[in-house]
Amino acid sequence: MSYLHNVEQWLDNVVIGLNLCPFAAKPRRKGQIRIAIYETDSLETLMENIYQELIRLDETPVCDLDTSLVVCPNVLQDFDEYNQFLDMVDALIRQCDRDGIYQVASFHPDYYFYGTQPDDAENLTNRAPYPIFHLIREDSMEKVLAHYPDPEGIPERNIEKMNALSEKDVRRLFPFLFSKP
């Protein structure tokens, strides 16, 4: 299967299908989510790719492009390295004077939250088939949050959903966690 297929399957079945992000279905339906797959093995090139995605977001009306998923299947397989690079992406956003305009959400096959064990179910909320940097327009987020009841409760509800999944559900929804070499 292709990288794109795997990311779309994760997006549709996990993120939207489990309603982990209650704001993703509408832009997905409208074709406003860009899935940008960069097969580089260079971190320098990846940073340039992320910069170009920020420029693309700047230059494209929100009605055509609301958000970008930057997928990097060939680098940052180690979660600690990914987290360090995430800090650099945040710094890039600040350096480009885009702080308050864009934010980045993070997804990784080995994602785990501080204070959790790697196998804790709650980590599934941010597990994806590949390292992904989700570039989000803050204006778009503010608009949807203004009309959503109890957005602060989303993380807790998502943790409950992950804990309620059976082993069979986890294997079906997250096949990439079980096919590692």
HEC profile for 145-168? HHCCCCHHHHHHHHHHHHHHCCHH
The residue assigned the tokens 């990288």 is 3
User: Checking DSSP bridges between strand 132-137 and strand 33-37, what pairing results, if any?
Assistant: unpaired
Per-residue pLDDT, averaged over 52-74, amounts to 98
| Strands of the sheet with 67-71, listed across from one edge | 33-37, 67-71, 132-137, 102-107
Q: Which tops the pLDDT comparison, 145 or 175?
A: 175
- Residue 145: the pLDDT is 87
Task: Round to whole Å and give the CA distance between 33 and 110.
Answer: 23
Beta bridge partners of 103: 136
Mean pLDDT of 89-93: 98
| Arithmetic mean of pLDDT, 29-44 | 98
Look up the pTM and report it. 0.95
Evaluate if residue 180 carries a pLDDT over 70: no
Given a cut of 90, whether residue 34 has pLDDT beyond it is: yes
Q: Which residues of 84-118 are buried (b: 16+ CB within 10 A; e: fewer)?
A: ebbeebeebbeeeebeeebebebbbbebbeeeeee
Contact 56, 40 (CB under 8 A): no
Determine the Cα–Cα distance for residues 150 and 45; give it in Å rounded to an integer.
39
CA–chain centroid gap for 133, Å, is 5
138 within 8 A of 93, measured Cβ to Cβ: no
Q: How confident is the model at residue 140 (pLDDT cuts 50, 70, 90)?
A: very high
pLDDT at 179: 81
Instruction: Round to whole Å and give the CA distance between 162 and 160.
Output: 5
What's the rounded mean pLDDT across residues 50-66? 98
Q: What is d(CA 115, CA 153) in angstroms, rounded to the nearest whole number?
A: 19
Q: Is 8 exposed, middle or buried (0-12, 13-18, 19+ CB in 10 A)?
A: middle
pLDDT score recorded for residue 181: 58
Q: What is the mean pLDDT of the chain?
A: 96
